[in-house]
């Protein structure tokens, strides 16, 4: 066996599907075995592998064992001369495996090698090559010196940023996202250290490889896409703790006690510093905008009141208590109304801000009408304050959004102009798939993979992509992986990194379209049937409807129970729904028949119940399930319950 590919998966089904398609293509003309170790995923990953990739060696864990243990399970079974540890959120080129194994054959001193990695926009990922995280290297990274002086050999050692990314280099540390290792290495160094649960195992293994007299190489002769970059949660305290805890384990294992003490100081500094920044960020996110809004509204009143006094009455007409108590109370009501209307969610929606101001003004006027006259001031000033608040808060948000200040980002729905690259058959399939998603998009046209006959049906070919993007003002390109090679996709992405363009890849025979617009995002996923019933707001609405209808039925049960043959079942169903064990409405045939749809609770009724036909075909049932999940509303549940009220005693 030439090569054993090992992929550890945890709840990234659609990314795994795309990865496996590319791995299988890269395995052609080679003797390759592929292992997927699933760490108790709940998203249907195991079913996907069994149905679509029966040739894969699947190891199914009943709990999340972590990265090291899961890899070790497969390494023990692997027969390959080389072992490749590969992340599921990657796409490899068709010749990646042949090139990297050939490199290892040409370099017998190499114990392991990594490759050039790019994110979903074609940008180079610096973690493709790394230095050993000594206390100084860690300090340079944590203090930001490595970013300030990336070309410095003294400060840039964490990502070895002073080394040319397009040249082969001997490096200290390889990324676990793609790490090709000689089988004999494990016989000498042992398997991955299972003390490391998630981070640090690649650093530890890289270090042990060098300790045993081998070299680690960064090999840019082939490029892969790695969607998640280094991490999707770098700003979180949990990430900082996990990552630096792994670093402490590594230092304690390999360095002297003196270095451990020094490193521990840096670790604690890093954790506390990141915790302080996180608290500041969180507090700032919550109070900065409301505080600024309050100050702007208050400043407006300070200008409006003297002006109104001068026009309508005389200076000093209003009591000083107005500015001390009444206006702050008005402002508090406005801010609370904006908050509850969703005006402080990010990115901000101007409609929610305007609605909050309106609701706040109505609340102020109602309170104004209820209090004693001695505490009332001018109703006209409330209306003037409303106009000022609406004008000023919306205007400054728009102004700062135009200045691209992230904290003032607005939710301005922009229709994406999308082009699809691939052969007509596959491109049309992806076009239909795109229509079924809930993405606000405009279809620009098809792009041919070469200058073949029938070009009148295309905007042009991939070779003309730069000009096509500029002329047609395209925002996003979707590549059909069934028509165009991974190598060509990656090459195109690398050629267009200077353009502000997004890329997605549609695997063959899949309902997903995957990509990533940033190193800091986990990846963007367009897929059918995922947006409606799975959204948190709809889940809350559904649960609220279940509780309300159950309590109503319970209240009316002394009368209703006589209309049911299975009276005990009727009462049991009410209490099961109240306790959350069941929902009144769900999928026909349960979750097992609709793995591609979001999971819902077992139900008493289904969308099929609104039809009078005795027999509904499986295809019709599936279609009804899709429509129910995709376009969910509580009105659907209410309609199904009303039309099927006689069936509420169903087991």
Strand order in the sheet with 460-461: 460-461, 441-448, 416-421, 476-480, 502-506, 512-515, 524-527
Helix (H) or strand (E) segment spanning residue 217: strand 215-226
Extended strands (E) in 405-542: 416-421, 441-448, 460-461, 476-480, 502-506, 512-515, 524-527
Q: Binning pLDDT at 50, 70 and 90, where does residue 109 land?
A: very high
Of the candidate ranges 62-76, 91-105, 128-142, 589-603, the one whose mean pLDDT is the lowest? 589-603
Strand-pairing partners, residue 58, are 36
Separation of first and last alpha carbons in the chain: 54
Q: What pLDDT shows up at residue 526?
A: 60
The pLDDT of 86-110, averaged and rounded, is 94
Q: What pLDDT shows up at residue 77?
A: 94
Cβ-in-10-Å burial (0-12, 13-18, 19+) of 213 comes to exposed
Q: Give the pairing of strands 57-61 and 90-91.
A: unpaired
- Residue 100 CA to residue 180 CA, distance in Å, equals 8
> Quick check: 601 and 582 in contact, CB under 8 A?
yes
Most confident of 73-77, 226-230, 562-566: 73-77
The pLDDT of 408-422, averaged and rounded, is 78
Q: What pLDDT shows up at residue 230?
A: 39
Q: Is the confidence at residue 248, as pLDDT, over 70?
A: no
The pLDDT of 208-213, averaged and rounded, is 88
- Residue 569 CA to residue 649 CA, distance in Å, equals 5
Q: Which residue do the tokens 């680690």 mark?
A: 216
- Residue 83 CA to residue 223 CA, distance in Å, equals 18
Displacement of CA 268 from its chain's centroid (Å): 29
Q: Which residue do the tokens 């109503």 mark?
A: 552
Q: What pLDDT shows up at residue 180?
A: 96
Q: What is the pLDDT of residues 333-349, one digit of tens each?
A: 999 999 888 888 877 78
Residues 6+ apart with CB under 8 A from 378: 308, 312, 318
> Quick check: 223 and 512 in contact, CB under 8 A?
no
- Residue 325 CA to residue 16 CA, distance in Å, equals 59
Q: What pLDDT shows up at residue 594?
A: 54
Q: Give the pairing of strands 82-86 and 3-9.
A: parallel
The answer to whether domain 3-129+165-229 and domain 416-527 are alike in fold is no
Q: Which CATH number fits domain 3-129+165-229: 3.90.550.10, 3.30.10.20, 3.30.230.10, 3.40.250.10?
A: 3.90.550.10
Q: Binning pLDDT at 50, 70 and 90, where does residue 235 land?
A: very low
Q: Binning pLDDT at 50, 70 and 90, where does residue 635 land?
A: confident
Q: What is the pLDDT of residues 272-299, one digit of tens each?
A: 676 676 667 767 777 888 999 999 999 8
CATH number of 416-527: 3.40.50.720
Q: What pLDDT shows up at residue 303?
A: 82
Displacement of CA 496 from its chain's centroid (Å): 24
More confident residue, 219 or 590: 219
Q: What pLDDT shows up at residue 575?
A: 92
Q: Is the confidence at residue 485, as pLDDT, over 60?
A: yes
Of the candidate ranges 44-48, 243-247, 392-396, the one whose mean pLDDT is the lowest? 243-247
Three-class DSSP category at 629: helix
- Residue 440 CA to residue 446 CA, distance in Å, equals 18
The pLDDT of 1-29, averaged and rounded, is 91
Q: Binning pLDDT at 50, 70 and 90, where does residue 44 land?
A: confident
Q: What pLDDT shows up at residue 73?
A: 94
Q: Which residue do the tokens 């490595």 mark?
A: 146
Handedness of CA 345, 346, 350, 353 (dihedral sign): positive
**Greatest alpha-carbon span in the chain:** 95
- Residue 430 CA to residue 511 CA, distance in Å, equals 8
Q: What is the pLDDT of residues 299-330, one digit of tens each?
A: 888 887 777 777 777 776 667 767 777 788 88
- Residue 176 CA to residue 231 CA, distance in Å, equals 12
Q: What pLDDT shows up at residue 441?
A: 79
The domain ranges of the chain are 3-129+165-229, 233-411, 416-527, 536-647
Q: Give the pairing of strands 502-506 and 512-515.
A: antiparallel
Q: Determine if the peptide bond prior to 347 is cis (ω within 30°).
A: yes
Mean pLDDT across the chain: 81
Q: What pLDDT shows up at residue 531?
A: 42
Q: What pLDDT shows up at residue 92?
A: 95
- Residue 198 CA to residue 67 CA, distance in Å, equals 5
Of the candidate ranges 228-232, 370-374, 503-507, 578-582, the one whose mean pLDDT is the lowest? 228-232
Residue 407 in tokens: 């904290």
Q: What pLDDT shows up at residue 533?
A: 74
Helix (H) or strand (E) segment spanning residue 465: helix 465-472
Q: What pLDDT shows up at residue 507?
A: 85
Q: What pLDDT shows up at residue 267?
A: 64
Backbone angles phi, psi at 646, to 5 degrees: -75, -10
Cβ-in-10-Å burial (0-12, 13-18, 19+) of 116 comes to buried
Helix (H) or strand (E) segment spanning residue 39: strand 32-39
Q: What pLDDT shows up at residue 516?
A: 60
Q: Is the confidence at residue 234, as pLDDT, over 60?
A: no
The pLDDT of 593-611, averaged and rounded, is 76
């Amino acid at each position: 066996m030439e090569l054993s590919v090992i992929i550890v998966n945890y709840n990234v089904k659609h990314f795994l599907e795309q990865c496996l398609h590319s791995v299988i293509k890269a395995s052609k003309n080679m003797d390759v075995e592929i292992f997927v170790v699933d760490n108790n995923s709940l998203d249907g990953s195991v079913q996907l592998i069994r149905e679509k990739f029966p040739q894969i060696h699947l190891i199914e864990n009943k709990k999340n064992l972590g990265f090291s243990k899961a890899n070790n399970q497969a390494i023990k079974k692997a027969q390959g001369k080389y072992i490749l540890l590969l992340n599921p959120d990657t796409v490899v080129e068709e010749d990646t495996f042949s090139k990297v194994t050939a490199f290892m054959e040409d370099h017998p001193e190499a114990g392991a090698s990594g490759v050039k990695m790019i994110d979903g926009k074609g940008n180079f990922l610096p973690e493709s090559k790394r230095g050993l995280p000594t206390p100084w290297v860690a300090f340079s990274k944590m203090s930001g010196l490595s970013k300030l002086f990336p070309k410095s050999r003294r400060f840039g050692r964490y990502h070895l940023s002073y080394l040319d990314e397009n040249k082969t280099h001997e490096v200290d540390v390889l990324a676990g996202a793609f790490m090709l290792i000689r089988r004999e290495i494990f016989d000498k160094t042992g398997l991955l250290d299972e003390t490391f649960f998630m981070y640090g195992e690649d650093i530890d293994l890289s270090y042990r490889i060098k300790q045993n007299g081998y070299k680690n190489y960064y090999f840019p002769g082939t490029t892969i896409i790695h969607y998640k970059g280094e991490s999707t949660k770098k700003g979180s305290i949990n990430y900082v703790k996990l990552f630096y805890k792994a670093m402490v384990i590594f230092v304690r294992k390999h360095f002297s006690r003196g270095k451990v003490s020094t490193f521990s100081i840096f670790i604690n500094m890093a954790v506390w510093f990141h915790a302080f920044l996180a608290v500041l960020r969180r507090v700032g996110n919550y109070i900065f905008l409301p505080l600024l809004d309050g100050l702007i509204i208050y400043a407006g009143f300070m200008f409006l009141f003297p002006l109104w006094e001068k026009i309508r009455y005389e200076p000093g007409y209003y009591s000083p208590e107005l500015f001390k108590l009444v206006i702050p109370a008005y402002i508090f009501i406005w801010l609370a109304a904006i908050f509850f209307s969703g005006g402080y969610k990010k990115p901000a929606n101007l409609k929610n801000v305007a609605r909050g101001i309106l609701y706040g003004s109505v609340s102020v006027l109602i309170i104004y009408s209820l209090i004693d006259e001695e505490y009332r001031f001018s109703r006209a000033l409330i209306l003037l304050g409303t106009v000022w608040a609406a004008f000023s808060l919306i205007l400054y948000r728009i102004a700062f959004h135009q200045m691209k200040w992230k904290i003032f980002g607005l939710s301005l729905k922009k229709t994406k102009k999308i082009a699809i690259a691939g052969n007509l058959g596959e491109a049309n399939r992806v076009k239909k798939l795109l229509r079924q998603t809930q993405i606000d998009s405009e279809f620009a046209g098809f792009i041919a993979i070469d200058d073949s006959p029938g070009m009148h049906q295309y905007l042009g070919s991939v070779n003309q992509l730069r000009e096509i993007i500029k002329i047609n003002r395209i925002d996003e390109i979707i590549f059909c992986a069934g028509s165009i090679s991974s190598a060509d996709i990656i090459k195109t992405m690398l050629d267009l990194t200077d353009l502000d363009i997004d890329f997605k890849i549609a695997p063959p025979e899949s309902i997903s379209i995957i990509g990533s617009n940033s190193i800091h995002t986990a990846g963007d996923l367009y897929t059918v049937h995922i947006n409606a019933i799975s959204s948190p707001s709809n889940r809350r609405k559904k649960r609220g409807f279940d509780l309300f209808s159950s309590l109503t039925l319970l209240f009316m049960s002394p009368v209703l129970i006589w209309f049911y043959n299975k009276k005990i079942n009727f009462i049991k169903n009410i209490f099961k729904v109240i306790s959350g064990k069941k929902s009144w409405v769900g999928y026909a045939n349960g979750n097992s028949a609709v793995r591609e749809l979001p999971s819902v609770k077992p139900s008493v009724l289904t969308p099929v119940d609104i039809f009078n036909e005795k027999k509904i075909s499986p295809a019709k049932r599936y279609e009804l399930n899709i429509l129910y999940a995709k376009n969910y509303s509580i009105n659907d549940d209410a309609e199904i319950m009303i039309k099927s009220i006689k069936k509420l005693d169903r087991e």
